[in-house]
Structures are given as structure tokens and as C-alpha cells.
Amino acid sequence: MYESLVNESQDFHLFIFPFDDKSRDILFKLNLEHVTIVPLEQFEDEQLREVKKDRTDQEYCWTCTPSIIKYSIEEYDLDNCTYLDADLYFFSNPSDLIEEMGSNSVMITEHRYTSEYDQTDTSGIYCVQFITFKNDNQGMKVLEWWRNACLDWCYARFENGKFGDQKYLDDWTKKFKGVYVLEHLGGGVAPWNVQQYKFEKSNGFIEGERKVDNITFNLIFYHFHGLKLLRNYRIDLGHYQLVKKVINLIYKPYIVSLLKWDDKIKRVTNSRVNLSLSEKKESFLEIISRKLKGIYNVFRLKNIV
């Protein structure tokens, strides 16, 4: 994600909150430009430490989402702050998305589920993947409400209309003023909705078209939910149906970036690098594997680097 932001926009600053010592140490060693590392011991307050006792690592990360945004705004005196899931990758400058919210105080993004993958009832209408808060009265009011709600209840189960930190967003447009729902189709393409679009590479951009009404858009970011790095440079893309063009246009650049950063991290941590990038290229590694309609498929991507 960081590399994609550097490629698409120099006008950003990323605040990274590592939740374990190993991640923290690696990030400091990488010494990334445009980045501030906020260690957990610096960020956690008494309320967070108290609820941490009865939550899993995943649940605690979700619990902390609004607190991370609030901390960043208040500690660094930000005019606005956008939370980003770590498994996003930007293919165009995200400034168009921020500008779209105009004078509104909060911006949220829909899941836009393909019908066969619709999880609205359990996972919510909106996705906590790219969410912006302005440092104004209304923005901070919504953020404070969300933080208190997550402190009270934030678990990895569906219960009484709640799920994690995410289902809380379902009624924000009715509960609060100044909450805007992103319309740009290029913000929030993900494995649960990518089946609705056709994609082509044009003039250095990935252009999408919604099949149902032929609305076109530039792909801004893709959410690589469910992607897992396996042994021997194999990668599980998850259970969602993906066509080969999506794999080549969207997944391949992300995987190439992951492989490069895997090498960088091994070098700064003095870990063994099994293959150089050139060796990976020459060996035509079978780096992608996924399940499609119950069949385990392996795709061989040539010249990956």
C-alpha cells in the first residue's frame, strides 16, 4: 500500500500503528519517507488497555480503529484523516475521492456486493476500508460516538445487529448530519464486487466499466481481502470468482510489489533471501493459486518482475 501511494501521490503522510513488537521494529528499520510510526505503548490509553483483556487480537485491532483516527487528528493537529486498511493498493491518486466529499464531515464507502456474495445482513452496508473524518464539530462527534461504541462492544461475531466495528456504520447517514457515501466506483473495488465490472489498461491507467449500465471510471484502489502468502511463493487469492484479466491487470502488480517488499524486509532483518528477483523471473514461479467453483487452480504468470 505504501509503495502504491508513493507511486500515485507524493502529497500524503501515513501514520502506521504496529500492533506487535516485530512489526514495529521492522518498520523503524525500513525508515520510510512520508511515514510516522506510532508504537502501541504510545497510542494505547487506559480505556483501550482495559477492553483489550477480553478481546482477541483481531477484535482488538477493530476496537482500535476509531481511536487510531482520533489519536492521529488530535496528536498531530490534522485537518482531516483517512483510515486505510493495510491490504489496499492504489492504482490512481486518491485525491479525487477526498475531493468528492466536498463540505461533508465524514465519508464512508459501500461494499457494493455482487448478489451471490451479498453479506449486508451480517457484515454491513459499508466497509471500514477507506473512511475519512474532518477535524470539525460534526466529524469529531461521529468519531467520538464510534469510538465509544467500539469500546463498549466490538467482537468478531454477529450479535443484535452488530458485527465488529463495521455494522455500526449502517445507519450513520440517518443518525448524523454531514456523512457522505462515496459515489466514485473506482474507490472500493474488491473481490466481493469485481465481478460487476470489465477492466482495460489505457494510457497507464486501469479503466473500469460497470456491466449493468456501462458507467466508466478509473480504478483508484483495490481491496485485496482474503489474499494469503503461502510457501514457495504461492499465493491464495481466496474463494471469490476472478477472471484472468482481473488477475493480470490488478492482482499481478500487487503480487510483484509484495515479492519486492518481502525481499526488502528480509534484508533489513538479516533473514535469508531464498531467491533474487531475477531468479524469480527466470524460474517462472507458479505464484498464484486459488479455488474456483471447488477446483484448485494454479496460474503460471511469466515475467513477473
Per DSSP, helices labelled H in 76-125 are 95-100, 120-123
- Return the DSSP state at 303: S
> What are 241's three cell numbers?
470468482
Residue type, 244: K
Please, are residues 290 and 236 in contact by the beta-carbon 8 Å criterion?
A: yes
Domain boundary among 158, 188, 218: 188
Residues 70 and 179 placed together within one structural domain of the fold:
yes
Rg (CA), the chain: 20
Residues 31 and 173 placed together within one structural domain of the fold:
yes
> Looking at residue 168, what is its pLDDT?
98
Residues 24 and 173 placed together within one structural domain of the fold:
yes
Residues 165 and 278 placed together within one structural domain of the fold:
no
Number of domains in the chain: 2
- The answer to whether position 203 is within a domain reads no
- The answer to whether position 174 is within a domain reads yes
For 152-168, the pLDDT digits (tens) are 999 999 999 999 999 99
Indicate which CATH number applies to the domain containing 161: 3.90.550
Task: Determine the structural domain holding residue 178 and report its residue range.
Answer: 2-188
CA distance 19 to 37: 11
- The answer to whether position 196 is within a domain reads no
For 255-293, the pLDDT digits (tens) are 989 889 988 999 999 876 665 555 554 433 455 555 444
- Entry pTM: 0.91
- The answer to whether position 211 is within a domain reads no
- The answer to whether position 137 is within a domain reads yes
- The answer to whether position 168 is within a domain reads yes
- Cα dist from 296 to 244, 255, 289, whole Å: 15, 19, 7
- The answer to whether position 214 is within a domain reads no
Residues 126 and 256 placed together within one structural domain of the fold:
no
- Neighbouring residues of 87: CB distance < 8 A, sequence distance ≥ 6: 1, 223, 224, 225, 227
Residues 66 and 121 placed together within one structural domain of the fold:
yes
Please, are residues 297 and 248 in contact by the beta-carbon 8 Å criterion?
A: no
Q: What is the mean pLDDT of the chain?
A: 90
Residues 182 and 239 placed together within one structural domain of the fold:
no
How long is the chain? 305
Residues 156 and 36 placed together within one structural domain of the fold:
yes
Residues 164 and 241 placed together within one structural domain of the fold:
no
Residues 61 and 125 placed together within one structural domain of the fold:
yes
Residues 136 and 6 placed together within one structural domain of the fold:
yes
- Neighbouring residues of 185: CB distance < 8 A, sequence distance ≥ 6: 112, 197, 208, 210, 215, 217
Residues 269 and 170 placed together within one structural domain of the fold:
no
- The answer to whether position 108 is within a domain reads yes
- Cα dist from 119 to 163, 236, 237, 246, whole Å: 11, 21, 19, 22
CA distance 67 to 147: 6
Domain boundary among 141, 160, 188: 188
For 182-227, the pLDDT digits (tens) are 999 999 999 999 999 999 999 889 999 999 999 999 999 999 999 9
